[in-house]
Amino acid sequence: MPFHYVNPVTGAPVGAGYAPGASVPSPVGGAAAPQTASKLPAMMSSGAAPGSPSLVRLKRSITALQDEQAIEKLQRSFGFFTDKALWKDAADLFTDDGSLELGGGGVYGGRARIQAYFTSLAPQGLQHGWMYNYVQEQPIITLSADGLTARGRWKFLAETGEWQKSAIWGVGAYENEYAKVNGVWRIRRIHRFDRMSTPYVDGWAKTALPLAGPSAAMPPDRPPSVSYQSYPATFVPRLAFPNPVTGK
């Protein structure tokens, strides 16, 4: 389906990186709204001195909410782009020094290497009979004190496979990092922890697939940063945020 929004980082139409000759979706509407700092309406500032503690706190709160919203949109866009093999659009969401680590596959550094790895999985643009859905869910965004970096924990539900060949369920979590560059949030690090993978026909009560490990066709730049095994083994990635009630 055509995307009604442009790439939230580059502002380019989604699908502009399609292979020559491929069908390119046409976005609906104009350019994306820039990720700018909040501007308090005049009605909020009336009756209070500029720079007063109450207005400073209010502005910080509004900016933090806008930042969280921008990061959630950024990550969800990553999910939509990878679902449809829009590898260039996905890679463009990263910072210059961004990294990608999926399961036990090792670390790929920089946008060019990230795009090259994705392309090694499948050609640019969704292919007939190929399913690669990674639904992004349950975000917890934690902003740094200066508002220039953030961490995000997400859960994913995966439906992958190839027509008349395979169908796989998968679940797991992301522990990601983000950075605001020139006023725009970008992905600094995607780290996906694969919790469980199983054939659709068998289900997780009968069959559990192991982590794939580093790619032989496209070796990573660095080995996996964490050693773990997926279901039926138990592994919980470290929570990067405190308990929201106790603060511990």
Judge whether 221 lies within some domain.
no
H or E segment at 113? helix 111-121
Q: What is the pLDDT along the chain (248 residues), one digit of tens a residue?
A: 888 889 999 988 998 655 544 554 554 444 444 565 555 555 455 556 667 888 888 999 999 999 999 999 999 999 999 999 999 999 999 999 999 999 999 999 999 999 999 999 888 888 999 999 999 999 999 999 999 999 999 999 999 999 999 999 999 999 999 999 999 999 999 999 999 999 999 999 999 999 999 999 999 999 999 999 999 999 999 998 899 999 99
Q: Residue 133 has which token pair?
A: 């859905």
Cα of first residue to Cα of last residue in the chain, in angstroms, is 44
Number of domains in the chain: 1
Q: Residue 13 has which token pair?
A: 């139409």
Judge whether 45 lies within some domain.
no
CATH number (domain holding residue 181): 3.10.450.50
- Give the count of beta carbons closer than 10 Å to the beta carbon of residue 100: 26
Domain that residue 75 falls in? 50-123+131-199
Judge whether 220 lies within some domain.
no
The Cα 238–Cα 240 span in angstroms is 6
